[in-house]
């Protein structure tokens, strides 16, 4: 399944209990292995250009409450964001909140957008190509372009 099958690059932010790990580092104790579902989930994340946002204050979001001498914990709750969310700017941070009596710790996502976001990245729109006078200003600009002088690194 592709979230971005239309190639319009929508913004995706999703989070919660996915009940599986995608990396071996996401489990502590018991049998540490990735099963087929974990592989499918990891493939889904990669094929949809999603980013598994790390937590800034820990790894594990679930623990098995039992009287066993072996502590078992896993990173089952995660936030997945589309890669284009990074380009929108700001500071994205995920945190694990204090335990509230359940076996899952609640998680929180904070997105602090920059205050001065008046500068937008350049985007090429295909409709420009359909304008009858499109080529004139482009040719004029390219003919008048003088390459910078200086070292090769400065020119680059």
What are the DSSP calls for 108-131, one per residue?
EEEEE--S---PPPP---GGGGGS
Q: What is the CATH number of the domain that holds 38?
A: 3.60.10.10
The pLDDT score that the predictor gives to residue 36 is 87
Is residue 26 within 8 Å of residue 74, measured between CB atoms? yes
Q: What is the tens place of the pLDDT at every residue in 19-71?
A: 888 888 888 877 777 888 888 999 999 988 899 999 999 998 988 876 566 77
pLDDT band at 116 (very low <50, low <70, confident <90, very high): low
Q: What is the pTM of this model?
A: 0.63
107 part of a folded domain: yes
Which structural domain, as residue segments, surrounds residue 39?
13-124
2 part of a folded domain: no
145 part of a folded domain: no
Q: What is the tens place of the pLDDT at every residue in 61-105?
A: 988 876 566 778 888 899 999 888 877 777 889 999 987 777 888
Strand ranges (DSSP E) for 25-140?
A: 27-28, 50-53, 62-63, 73-74, 77-82, 91-96, 107-112
110 part of a folded domain: yes
142 part of a folded domain: no
139 part of a folded domain: no
The pLDDT score that the predictor gives to residue 9 is 66
38 part of a folded domain: yes
Number of structural domains in the chain: 1
Q: What's the sign of the alpha-carbon dihedral 33, 35, 37, 42?
A: positive
């Amino acid at each position: 399944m592709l979230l971005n099958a239309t190639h319009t690059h929508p913004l995706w932010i999703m989070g919660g209990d996915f009940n599986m790990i995608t990396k071996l580092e996401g489990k502590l104790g018991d049998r540490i292995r990735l099963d087929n579902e974990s592989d499918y989930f990891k493939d889904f994340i990669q094929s949809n250009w999603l980013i598994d946002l790390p937590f800034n204050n820990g790894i594990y979001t679930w623990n098995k409450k039992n009287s066993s001498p072996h502590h078992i914990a896993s990173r089952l709750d995660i936030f997945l964001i589309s890669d284009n969310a990074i380009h929108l700017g700001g500071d994205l941070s995920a945190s694990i909140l204090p335990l509230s009596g359940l076996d899952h710790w609640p998680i929180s996502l904070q997105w602090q957008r920059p205050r001065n976001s008046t500068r937008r990245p350049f985007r090429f729109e295909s409709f420009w190509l359909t304008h009858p006078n499109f080529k004139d200003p482009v040719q004029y600009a390219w003919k008048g372009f003088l390459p910078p002088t200086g070292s090769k690194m400065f020119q680059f």
